[in-house]
Structures are given as C-alpha cells and as structure tokens.
Amino acid sequence: MLDCACGRRYPVVDGVPIVMADPSGYLHAEAATVVERDLPAEVVELLIAGGPDDAPYPRLVEHLSTYLDAHWGDRAEPPPDGPGGTAVAGFGLGAIAAKIAERAGHRVELAVELGCSTGRIVAELAAGADRVCGLDLSFGAVRRARRLLDGERVEYARRVVGRRYAAAHAAAGDCTVPADRRLLVCGDALDPPLVPGVFGRVVALNLLDSVASPRQLLAVLDGLCQPGGEILVSSPYAWQSSVMADHERLGWCATDAADPAAELTALLRAGTGLAARYEIEDEVELPWTLRRDARTVASYSIHYVRARKM
C-alpha cells in the first residue's frame, strides 16, 4: 500500500502502484485486469473460448498480444508473423523508438512518458535521462513493462486468428532499467499523480487520439514540462466517437475537418491553452504498425513533433 499524507491509501500490485483520483472505481471496473495472472496460451484460449470478444479479459489478452509485439517484437521469440513478414509485423514502434534514441545525447535529469504501455519507450528514454517515469491506464500493460524492465522474461499469448493464440515470450535484454532509475505507475494521463514543472523531457506517443480531450492532454504535458524543456508528441489522429466527442478533435469544425497536424503545431507555437509558447524543433511523418493477428496488420502514418518550451 501507498499511504498519502492526506489519509488516502493506494494499492501496489506486483510492484505497480495504482494511483488515481478514484482508485476504487477503477478497481471495480478493471478487477479482471488487475487480478489476472500469467497463464499458458492454451489455458488463455480455454478461458476466452466462450466469448464475448469485448469482455474485459479477452480485450486485455488481445491488447497485450498487440502491444508486446509492437514494443518488443525485435526481442520476442518466435518473431511476430503477419502480412509483410517480421519486417512489417514485428516491432511496429521501431521508427518512433529511433527518434527517442536520437535524444539520448541531450541528457536530462528527469523524463516522463504518458501512455507508456508495455514500456519500450521508457527504456529508450532511460538512455538519455537520470531517472524516468512511465504511466499508463492499462494495469496489465504496466505490469508487463515493470517485469521486462526488471530483466524478467515475459511469456504472453500471441493472437493467431479469432480466439486462437500461440505461446510467445519477450525479454528486454540490454534495455533493462534499474528500479532506482525508473518509476512505473498505473494512472490517468489526464490527471497524472506527478509533480508539475520538473521534467526536462515529456513524452506522449500516439495518445492524443486515445483520450477524451487532446487539448487537456497538451495542457498536462505543458504543466509537467520545466522551462526550457521539451515535449515529444505523435499521433495518427485516428479519431473514434467512442473515445471523444467531435468538437474535442484537433482540426474539427462544424463544416469541415481541417488538418489536425497543423492545429497541433499552431497550438504549441501560440501557447493556446498552455502556460507557455513552444518552438517546433522537429516535425516528421513516421510509420507505425500494429500486428492484430497472423493475417492482419494495421499500418499508420503518424505525425511526430518535438517542441521546446520557451
């Protein structure tokens, strides 16, 4: 348990603290993902055989299959298969990871990633920071990130097709990060339990279109970033009505859908809704792929921006 000076208590499960405004509500809704355990692929198949596909546990299993391959596919056995072979289906985060690795020579004291998922970018950030924090709302993903960064081999069920899964495993190898240099938290990116204004590098990759309010997320990133620090954001702008209302989308207007990439950079340069203005130092389109199963790979072009707080 974590005991706060305010009197509130927060659970720590398998080394991952769950810290948010309403932890009891989260635990009630996500109980299946918090108490699940590592199981052989054939047992996973039996547990999800009866459906439905959108029940919490089947959704978690599919999510972990997709994002463990995307983050650690270059260190997984067997390598991820799928359309285009391992070069396409495996390590879909590769181009983004390379961009983060470019910043390692510009060292900062503290770095943070909101939406860290299974932890590969936390590992890349650690190469250029004294300490790094990763936060994600998916406890199951953060738990795997903790184990991988600790140097453990993580077994997981890789989706073949439908509800069929095959055994796979991943290990971080030289991407491990000592516990005294990193912190992993299950929490809400729109309300992170973090000290504001102390991070020299603030990262949110492919998260803008996965929260209810992209502008609120930008304000959070700005609030965490110290003066002179940098924020790194990317997105395919794959908006979904189930995630956010139309009027919250970047580039949205009543009569036309403008370019969300242009609005993002305009908001940063002008400091609209933020505490400061930003100078755009890098802007590029990058490939990003997610392996869904042995027959399906989703390919995206993501807009990547690195901006300096002025």
Q: What residue ranges of the chain have pLDDT lower than 50?
A: none
pLDDT in the model for residue 257: 59
Rounded CA gap, 199 and 293, in Å?
A: 37
pLDDT in the model for residue 251: 87
In this structure, the strands spanning 108-114 and 199-205 are: parallel
- Name the nearest CA neighbour of 266 among 253, 249, 248, 251: 251
Residue spans of the domains in the chain: they are: 9-309
C-alpha dist (Å) from residue 134 to 38, 153, 261: 22, 20, 25
In the block, tokens 């869904």 appear at 292
Cβ-count burial 182-199 (b if 16+ within 10 Å, e if not)? bbbbbbbbeebebeeeeb
CA atoms within 13 A on the CB side of 133: 21
Say if residues 3 and 9 touch (Cβ distance below 8 Å): yes
Rounded CA gap, 309 and 138, in Å?
A: 29
pLDDT in the model for residue 107: 97
C-alpha dist (Å) from residue 114 to 194, 204, 217: 11, 5, 9
Question: CB-based contacts of 151: which residues, under 8 Å, 6+ apart?
Answer: 171, 172, 176
Amino acid, single-letter form, for residue 80: P
Say if residues 99 and 304 touch (Cβ distance below 8 Å): yes
Rounded CA gap, 126 and 113, in Å?
A: 11
In the block, tokens 């990193």 appear at 182
* Tokens representing residue 124 in the block: 């890349």
Phi then psi dihedrals of residue 180, to 5 deg: -80, 0
> Rg for the chain (alpha carbons), in Å?
19
pLDDT in the model for residue 162: 93
Say if residues 119 and 144 touch (Cβ distance below 8 Å): yes
pLDDT in the model for residue 27: 87
pLDDT in the model for residue 84: 86
pLDDT digits (tens, 9 = 90+) for 196-226: 999 999 999 999 999 999 999 999 999 999 9
Amino acid, single-letter form, for residue 234: S
pLDDT in the model for residue 31: 84
pLDDT digits (tens, 9 = 90+) for 18-56: 999 888 888 888 888 899 999 999 999 999 998 899 998
For domain 9-309, say whether CATH 3.30.420.40 is its number: no
pTM value is: 0.95
pLDDT in the model for residue 254: 52
* Tokens representing residue 39 in the block: 């199981």
